[in-house]
Chain A
Amino acid sequence: MKKLGVFTRALRNVSRRKIRALLVIIALSLSVAILTSIPTGIMANQKAAEQLSANYDSYLENMQTQITTASTLLEVSLSPGFTAAGFGGRGRPEGGFGGGGFMGFMSSESFFNETAVSNITTIDGVAAVIPVLEKSEGTNETRSTQFGDFVFLRPEYTIVGVPLDNSILSNYPVLPSDIIEGRTLGEGDNDAVLLSTNNTEYFGVGVNDQVNILGKDFTVVGVYSTTVTQEMNHLYMSLPEAQTITETEGNISRIDVYAENETAVDSVYANITAMYPEFYVNTAQSRLESLTTMAENQGSLLDNAEAGLVETQSVAYMEIGIAVVATSLIVLFTMLYTVRERTQEIGVLKAIGFSNTNIMSQFMLEGMILSIMAGLIGVVIGTVGAPIITQLLLTGFAANTGPQANTGSQMAFRGRQIGIPGLTVQSTIATPTVELLLIVFAGAILLGVLGSLYPSWRASKTSPMEALRRE
């Protein structure tokens, strides 16, 4: 035979009113689930925002270093530097900041005749003139932005043709330096291509494999790795081969001009612009200025995004507050009703010798049993449904990076889409931490205690005589 104790009785009292207990537990557990999932979402977003901010800072730092190291480089092209010949790794312009995010409605690639190369070579103070062809290949895609719908080329890869000339390759950073497999390109390489790690995935090939690019077979001589977002899809080959397969014979998209020294940069700049007024020429100076402008623009975007996050968080905290109050009120009213309904029972218990403390602890225990059960269920729902509930309650709050992560990340803050080019945020999965679960669980019990406090106190203060009279 089961032995009777305070706990057994409390359990039985709770189970006496099954439907009520069930309803209370459902309501409470939903509150608890909200308490579990919202902070989880907030934490995930904070992490994403911090990561974004940190990435952005290191990106700027990186760019600055690169610009300063390539202080003698002048980039010559038909597009303004900001979009077409922006900031590339190792001083090589690689399509600028507009990698498909906020800035980029994909800069149009403009080509010009390579005769310019020999003309620029004649200018005094020029150390090297390097023609480059850069052409993106991919599919057209429509993307909706806050400015309307835009059709743009979603690049799958970018063909980069450079002169495979040892005197250039050994002195200037034309090819990527971080070769992780195979070798880099060298003078005399034919039908050879250097792929990025992204390219190997896209084409499904490795070193020494054959790969067909725009109808021509190439041998993969090496694979390089890069952290510069704009270069992640670049594949390198000799300039003539690039011109052939892209059907741009005799044309190039950019000339990298190296001055003999920093003092010569200004005169070289003046000579080129005099010779070709239609060209845009970027010096380290102008690139630095552009970078500053961009840093300011993007910085304020990031600030806006962070302000949005703060705003969203305060809404989230308000929602947490509402959940806390609602939880306490549910317990409060249920227990008040229960106490009212059981007045006579309280009278009898007092008559047969139960103390006020006994009665109070009995009702507190019942409230706590409800809260513990609801807490357990709520924590489970909260864990499983954290991402879903977070999305439901905080529309657009989640940081997301999709498959286009490499073309610029997007972080949605309450429906405000902000893409900061060149930055990626690893997708954050909202998973509550063990600490949070413990805190929420303890919180649920605390709320149960708080909600039961007044009703239990009222129960304990019930006059036994009054209670017994209610028959």
Chain B
Amino acid sequence: MNELTLKTENLDKIYKLGGRQVRALSDVTLDIQKGDFLSIMGPSGSGKSTLLNILGCLDTPTHGTVFLDGVNVTKVPEKNLYKIRKNKIGFVFQTFNLMPWLNAIENVELPMEGTKLSKDERQKRAHELLEMVGLSKRIEHRPHKLSAGEQQRVAIARALANNPAIVLADEPTGNLDAKTKYEIVRLLSKLNAEQGTTIIMVTHDSQVASRAGRMLSLNDGKLLKKEKKGSHVMNLICSHCGKEIRADDTFCPGCGKRI
């Protein structure tokens, strides 16, 4: 499992904001191997999202190179980047970003539109993916009929639709309550462990971050030298009193309130 999936060299990103230059990323060099589960932490404005956008081929660096699955994507013309986004990358967003007028299975089918798969094959694959994320019974529900956690599961299934080399998750638990947060992180680490999916997750939640195998920190656009090893363990705490709880608890054993 030492195959290199993603590699960045000396990434710089400079924005121009009202004539003033803002350095969002500075000399970021990163190696990510196939099967890695990586979390990137950092305060807001530290450049996490910029890095993720560049890794996801939504943005281009000012300097430096990004190799994805052996391809130097910084050399790929902008009009062809969609192919890389379609085939090599899966996105999971903080706000899920499902199409509200499509049901769960249709949302998962969406990225497969325009691929070689027939409509039947697309439907079959979407069905399998929804089963994998534990939503096989809710495939015909539209997003507004699903809970936040369920919506994020659909989004994860959608991210996996084209069997991407890498899944990029931007604050995937940012809009979820403690219990759902736990479920989603567990799902991600399960996918990583069982399917070998490479996951890069941006978060400012240290609890969530610690569930990843590798933990990186960004500050002022610079990658901190010290890389931590994740614990793969995430402690659940009550959002009311801060006492540790278990995943199957409905009421907090400490304060007795509904979790």
Nearest A-chain residue to B127, judged by Cβ: A1
Interface pair B93/A353, CB less than 8 Å apart: no
| Number of residues from A at the complex interface, CB < 8 A | 25
Q: Which residues of A contact B10 (CB under 8 A)?
A: none
Q: Which residues of B contact A356 (CB under 8 A)?
A: 79, 82
Q: Which residues of B contact A6 (CB under 8 A)?
A: 113
Q: Which residues of B contact A1 (CB under 8 A)?
A: 105, 123, 140
Interface pair A345/B99, CB less than 8 Å apart: yes
Interface pair A352/B85, CB less than 8 Å apart: yes
Q: Which residues of B contact A344 (CB under 8 A)?
A: 97
Interface pair A350/B53, CB less than 8 Å apart: no
Nearest B-chain residue to A9, judged by Cβ: B102
Interface pair B113/A4, CB less than 8 Å apart: yes
For window 90-121 of A, CB contacts with B under 8 Å fall at: none
For window 1-48 of A, CB contacts with B under 8 Å fall at: 1, 3-6, 9, 12-13, 16
B 92-134 to A, binary, CB cutoff 8 A, 1 in contact else 0: 0101010101100110011101100001101100000000000
User: Which of A3, A5, A13 sits near B101, CB closer than 8 Å?
Assistant: A13
Cα separation A344 to B91 with both chains bound (whole Å)? 14
Q: Which residues of A contact B106 (CB under 8 A)?
A: 4
Interface pair B82/A355, CB less than 8 Å apart: yes
Interface pair A350/B85, CB less than 8 Å apart: yes
Task: Say yes or no: is B56 at the interface (Cβ < 8 Å to chain A).
Answer: yes
Interface pair A16/B85, CB less than 8 Å apart: no
Best-buried of A1, A348, A349 by chain B (most CB within 10 Å): A348
CB distance from A460 to the nearest CB of B (A): 10
B 151-168 to A, binary, CB cutoff 8 A, 1 in contact else 0: 000000011001000000
CB distance from A333 to the nearest CB of B (A): 22
Contact (A471, B111) CB under 8 Å given A12-B101, A353-B85: no
User: Which of A4, A348, A353 sits near B97, CB closer than 8 Å?
Assistant: A348
Interface pair B123/A353, CB less than 8 Å apart: no
Interface pair B58/A353, CB less than 8 Å apart: no
Task: Say yes or no: is B86 at the interface (Cβ < 8 Å to chain A).
Answer: yes
Q: Which residues of A contact B159 (CB under 8 A)?
A: 352
Task: Say yes or no: is A240 at the interface (Cβ < 8 Å to chain B).
Answer: no
Task: Say yes or no: is B87 at the interface (Cβ < 8 Å to chain A).
Answer: yes
For window 338-378 of A, CB contacts with B under 8 Å fall at: 344-345, 348-356, 358
Interface pair B101/A353, CB less than 8 Å apart: no
Task: Say yes or no: is B83 at the interface (Cβ < 8 Å to chain A).
Answer: yes
Task: Say yes or no: is A322 at the interface (Cβ < 8 Å to chain B).
Answer: no
Q: Which residues of A contact B87 (CB under 8 A)?
A: 353
Interface pair B111/A16, CB less than 8 Å apart: no
Task: Say yes or no: is B183 at the interface (Cβ < 8 Å to chain A).
Answer: no
Task: Say yes or no: is A468 at the interface (Cβ < 8 Å to chain B).
Answer: yes
Interface pair A354/B82, CB less than 8 Å apart: yes
Task: Say yes or no: is A464 at the interface (Cβ < 8 Å to chain B).
Answer: yes
CB distance from A395 to the nearest CB of B (A): 47
Task: Say yes or no: is B27 at the interface (Cβ < 8 Å to chain A).
Answer: no
User: Which of A3, A352, A355, A465 sits near B158, CB closer than 8 Å?
Assistant: A352
CB distance from B219 to the nearest CB of A (A): 22
CB distance from B148 to the nearest CB of A (A): 15
User: Which of A3, A12, A348, A352 sits near B119, CB closer than 8 Å?
Assistant: A3
Task: Say yes or no: is B59 at the interface (Cβ < 8 Å to chain A).
Answer: yes
Interface pair B58/A352, CB less than 8 Å apart: no
CB distance from B96 to the nearest CB of A (A): 10
For window 303-317 of A, CB contacts with B under 8 Å fall at: none
Interface pair B59/A353, CB less than 8 Å apart: no
Contact (A352, B95) CB under 8 Å given A1-B123, A5-B119, A465-B58: no
CB distance from B112 to the nearest CB of A (A): 9
Contact (A353, B53) CB under 8 Å given A3-B119, A345-B99: no
Contact (A353, B86) CB under 8 Å given A5-B119, A16-B101, A465-B58: yes
Q: Which residues of B contact A465 (CB under 8 A)?
A: 53, 58-59
Q: Which residues of B contact A348 (CB under 8 A)?
A: 93, 97, 99
The 10 lowest CB-CB distance pairs between A and B, nearest first, are: A353-B86, A355-B82, A3-B119, A352-B111, A348-B97, A353-B85, A351-B91, A4-B106, A464-B58, A465-B58
25 contacts between A and B (CB under 8 A): A1-B140, A3-B120, A4-B102, A4-B106, A4-B109, A9-B102, A12-B101, A12-B102, A16-B101, A344-B97, A345-B99, A348-B97, A348-B99, A349-B110, A350-B82, A351-B85, A351-B97, A352-B110, A352-B111, A352-B159, A353-B87, A354-B82, A358-B82, A465-B53, A465-B59
**Could you list which residues of chain A lie within 8 angstroms of chain B, going by C-beta atoms?**
1, 3-6, 9, 12-13, 16, 344-345, 348-356, 358, 464-465, 468, 471
Given A353-B87, A356-B82, A358-B113; 12 other pairs, CB 8 A cutoff: A4-B110, A5-B119, A12-B101, A348-B93, A351-B58, A352-B85, A352-B90, A352-B111, A353-B83, A353-B162, A354-B114, A468-B93
**Could you list which residues of chain B lie within 8 angstroms of chain A, going by C-beta atoms?**
53, 56, 58-59, 79, 82-83, 85-87, 89-91, 93, 95, 97, 99, 101-102, 105-106, 109-111, 113-114, 119-120, 122-123, 140, 158-159, 162
